[in-house]
């Protein structure tokens, strides 16, 4: 889509010997009965104390192939030496950032970023899209995703990187959506030297509303739900039961087109149950991060704000006391998948303006 004004480079990055803390889980998802019971355990009102699914700490080491794409404006300016590194959320893949349907440009943060002069990098998180489908219980967990993002960033910043089309990348800014925002926040906490600024959406840092997400999602074992599409996946890969349960999380009427939600469903990538089970289990301390932080929220975000961000995001601010500046916006009329709602280009202007002012 961007071929007229950008150079694009798609590839697979072989990451080897990547290690991270991990968790042994108390449960295993093999059948639809298993995931239904897991949903009850995670959604019940006392789930915070009654069920966490963690048996104990462990470590994971693995080799992973990560499908990714680097894009840079064909007319290079100094801005192109900054790469925006984008991490998508649960159930999506890297196309979240550059929708592939006809007319998708207006929903593409990548097209907007290229037009603004930046280089961009987006990738399929481990377990999604065309990246390695590792064990969804013991391997595809939160901390390894953080280590993968750190490794990818180091490769982009390396002198003579083979992954940047000969553009010498001087700095990285990280964008996250939803689960990808939690990964991005953790990267900023653990490896602040790897990023110059972060921009988060589908994020509040508050887990109080995950019960209604999990209850409404009604996840199913993907391989059993649709064997033609997902029969190759292990049973710990799960996905919302149908397009409407999916839209319940991602979209808010009347601020989106149903055809866009249908596209999002058509590119669905089931999520690994180990990812949700381990989110928040190893806290990353965001309180010392002293670089620019933007939180750009759809006002009606279900999982981050319980469907209404008014009066919630002041708690988000408490998580980033040293961010400089901290810019939190919670009024954009959208649900969770901000980029796929009407007037997304206005959201992109604000996000990219924040980068431009602060880098």
Ligand X SMILES: *[C@@H]1O[C@H](CO)[C@@H](O)[C@H](O)[C@H]1NC(C)=O
Binding residues for ligand X (CB under 6 A): 17, 19, 311, 314-315, 318, 327, 342-343, 350, 353-354, 357
Residues 6+ apart with CB under 8 A from 52: 277, 281
**Smallest distance, ligand X to C-beta of residue 38, A:** 32
Bridge partners, 21 (sequence order): 59
**Smallest distance, ligand X to C-beta of residue 351, A:** 8
Compare residues 179 and 332 and give the one whose CB is closer to ligand X.
332
Compare residues 103 and 231 and give the one whose CB is closer to ligand X.
103
Compare residues 139 and 225 and give the one whose CB is closer to ligand X.
139
**Smallest distance, ligand X to C-beta of residue 209, A:** 15
Measured distance CA(52)–CA(54) in Å, rounded? 6
Compare residues 216 and 330 and give the one whose CB is closer to ligand X.
330
**Smallest distance, ligand X to C-beta of residue 356, A:** 7
**Smallest distance, ligand X to C-beta of residue 311, A:** 4
Tokens 């996946």, residue?
233
Residue in 62, 63, 61, 57 with CA at minimum distance from that of residue 22 = 57
Residue 301's SS3 state is coil
Tokens 């064997």, residue?
227
Tokens 């029969």, residue?
231
Compare residues 242 and 353 and give the one whose CB is closer to ligand X.
353
DSSP per-residue letters across 13-29: EEEEEEEEEEEEES---
Residue 90's SS3 state is coil
């Amino acid at each position: 889509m961007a071929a007229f004004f950008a150079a694009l480079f798609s590839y697979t990055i072989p990451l080897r010997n990547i290690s991270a803390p991990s968790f042994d889980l108390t449960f295993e998802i093999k059948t639809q009965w298993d995931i239904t019971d897991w949903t009850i355990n995670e959604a019940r009102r006392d789930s915070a104390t009654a069920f966490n699914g963690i048996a104990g700490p462990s470590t994971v080491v693995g080799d992973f192939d990560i499908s990714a794409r680097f894009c840079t404006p064909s007319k290079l300016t100094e801005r192109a030496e900054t790469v925006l590194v984008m991490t998508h959320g649960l159930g999506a893949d890297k196309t979240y950032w550059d929708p592939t349907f006809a007319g998708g440009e207006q929903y593409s943060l990548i097209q907007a970023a290229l037009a603004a002069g930046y280089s961009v990098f987006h990738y399929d998180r481990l377990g999604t899209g065309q990246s390695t489908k590792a064990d969804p219980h013991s391997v595809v967990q939160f901390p390894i995703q953080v280590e993968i993002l750190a490794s990818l960033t180091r490769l982009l910043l390396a002198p003579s990187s083979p992954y940047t089309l000969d553009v010498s990348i001087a700095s990285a800014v990280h964008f996250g959506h939803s689960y990808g925002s939690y990964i991005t926040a953790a990267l900023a906490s653990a490896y602040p030297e790897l990023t110059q600024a972060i921009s988060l959406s589908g994020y509040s840092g508050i887990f109080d509303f995950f019960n209604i997400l999990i209850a409404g999602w009604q996840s199913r074992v993907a391989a059993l739900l649709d064997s033609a599409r997902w029969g190759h996946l292990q049973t710990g890969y799960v996905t919302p039961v149908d397009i409407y349960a999916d839209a319940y999380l991602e979209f808010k009427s009347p601020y989106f087109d149903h055809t866009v939600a249908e596209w999002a469903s058509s590119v669905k990538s089931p999520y690994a149950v180990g990812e949700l089970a381990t989110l928040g289990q190893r806290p990353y301390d965001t309180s010392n991060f002293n670089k620019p932080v933007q939180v750009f929220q759809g006002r009606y975000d279900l999982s981050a704000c319980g469907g209404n961000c008014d009066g919630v995001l002041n708690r988000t601010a408490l998580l980033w006391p040293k961010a400089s500046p901290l810019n939190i916006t919670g009024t954009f009329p959208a649900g969770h998948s901000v980029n796929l709602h009407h007037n997304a280009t206005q959201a992109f202007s604000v996000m990219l303006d924040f980068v431009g002012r602060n880098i």
